[in-house]
Structure 1
C-alpha cells in the first residue's frame, strides 16, 4: 500500500511538473509573439508541440503565427515558406483533433492566405475548399465567434470582389461581436482572438 501511495505521489508530481512546463512554455511563446518576434514564438510553440504530442494547441499556434505573418509581410517571397510551415503544423494538429472547429477555421485561413498571395491562380482552386471548411465548422460550433466572424469576413471579401451586397455578412459580423463578448475559452491557452478585428469590421459596416 505504501509503495502504491508513493507511486501516486510521484505520478501527481510528474503531471504537475509537466503542466507547469507546458504553461511556462506557452506563456513564453505568447510573450515573444506580443513583442513582435513571430519566428521566435513559432520556434517555442514547435518545441512545446514536440514535447506534447497529444496536445493540438502548440501546433495550432505554429500555424496561426505563420499564417498571420503571411498576411502581414510586405515581402511576397516569404509567403510560401511561411504557409508551408503553417500547413505542416496544421496537419499535425488535425491528426490529433480532426473535428475541431478552431482547426477548421485555421485551415480555411491558410487557404485564404494562399488566395491573397495569388488570387488568379488560387482563387478558383481554393475558394470552394474554404467554403466547405466553414460550413463544416458551422455545423460543429455554430456559436463559436471565430467561426462566425471568419466565415463572414471571407464571404464579405468575395461579395465585394463580385460587387454583391455585403449586408448579410455585416449582420453575421454583428452576431459574431455579440458572441465574442460572451465567449469564455476552455483554458487561458485556447483560442481567444478575433474580437478586435470583428469590432473594426463592424464599424466599417456601420459607416
Structure 2
C-alpha cells in the first residue's frame, strides 16, 4: 500500500513538473516572439497557453495587452474593433481568475483608453469616467505598484491636456512611479514589469 502511494506521489510530482516546464517554455517563447516584433504570433502563443492554464491570469492578461497596444494608432475601424474585442474577452477571463487585481484593472483602463483615443467624440463621454474610477480603485488596492501610479498619472496628464489645464502637477506622480519601479519586485519572471522606460521618457520632458 505504501509503495503504491509513493509511486502515485512520484507520478503526480513528475506530471506537475512537466506541466510547469511546458508553461515556462511556452511563456518564454511568447515573450521572445513579442520582443522580435511578432505580436500576432506572440498573442497566438499566449492564447494557446491560456487554453491550458485556465487558472492562471497571466497568459490571458498578455493576450489582452498585446491586442490593446496594437490598437493605439490603428485607423481601420474593423481591425481595431476586432483587436479590442479580443482584448476585452481575455481581460474578462483574467478578471474572473483574479478579481480585484490592480494589474488587470490597469489593463482594463488601457482598453477603454484605446477606444477613446480612436474616437473621443463617440467614446470619451461614456468611458472616461470608467477609466478614472478604475485607476482610483487600483490605487487603493496597490498604492505602491509603479504601473498603477504611472498609468494613473499618465491618464491624469492626458485629461488635463485635453481640457487645456497644466500637466505639471502630475510630474511628481511620474517621479514617484520611477522611484517605485526601482524597488518593485515582480512575483515571478512572467509577472508584469513594464512601464519604467516610458515613465522616464515622460518625466524628462515633464512640465515643459
Give the Cα–Cα distance (whole angstroms) in 1 for the partners of residues 38 and 64 of structure 2: 15
Is residue 150 from structure 1 mapped to residue 151 from structure 2 by the alignment?
yes
What residue is the counterpart of 2:103 in the other structure?
A: 102
Give the Cα–Cα distance (whole angstroms) in 1 for the partners of residues 127 and 74 of structure 2: 21
Is residue 26 from structure 1 mapped to residue 32 from structure 2 by the alignment?
no
Number of positions where the alignment pairs a residue of Structure 1 with one of Structure 2? 207
Give the Cα–Cα distance (whole angstroms) in 1 for the partners of residues 207 and 96 of structure 2: 41
Measured against aligned partners, the alpha-carbon deviations of 1:11-35 in whole angstroms (never above 9, x if no partner) come to 1111110100000000010011111
Correspondence 1:174-185 to 2 at 5 A: 174-185=175-186
Q: 1:19 to 1:72 in 2, by over 3 A?
A: farther
The alignment's TM-score, normalised by the length of structure 2, stands at 0.97
Give the Cα–Cα distance (whole angstroms) in 1 for the partners of residues 168 and 105 of structure 2: 25
Is residue 119 from structure 1 mapped to residue 133 from structure 2 by the alignment?
no
Q: Which ranges in structure 2 are unaligned for 5 or more consecutive residues?
A: none
What residue is the counterpart of 2:197 in the other structure?
A: 196
Give the Cα–Cα distance (whole angstroms) in 1 for the partners of residues 114 and 74 of structure 2: 11
Give the Cα–Cα distance (whole angstroms) in 2 for the partners of residues 202 and 8 of structure 1: 54
Give the Cα–Cα distance (whole angstroms) in 2 for the partners of residues 79 and 168 of structure 1: 33
Give the Cα–Cα distance (whole angstroms) in 2 for the partners of residues 165 and 128 of structure 1: 20
Q: Which ranges in structure 1 are unaligned for 5 or more consecutive residues?
A: none
Give the Cα–Cα distance (whole angstroms) in 2 for the partners of residues 110 and 196 of structure 1: 21
- With 75-84 and 49-58 compared, the bigger mean Cα shift is at 75-84
What residue is the counterpart of 2:57 in the other structure?
A: 56
What residue is the counterpart of 1:83 in the other structure?
A: 84
Cα RMSD, aligned residues only: 1.1
Structure 1 residue 78, shift from structure 2 partner: 1.9
Structure 1 residue 74, shift from structure 2 partner: 5.2
- With 27-36 and 159-168 compared, the bigger mean Cα shift is at 159-168
Runs of 4+ in 1 over 4 A off after TM superposition: 74-77
- With 89-98 and 64-73 compared, the bigger mean Cα shift is at 64-73
Give the Cα–Cα distance (whole angstroms) in 2 for the partners of residues 171 and 180 of structure 1: 14
Measured against aligned partners, the alpha-carbon deviations of 1:129-182 in whole angstroms (never above 9, x if no partner) come to 001101110111001000000000011000011111212211100000111111
Structure 1 residue 10, shift from structure 2 partner: 0.7
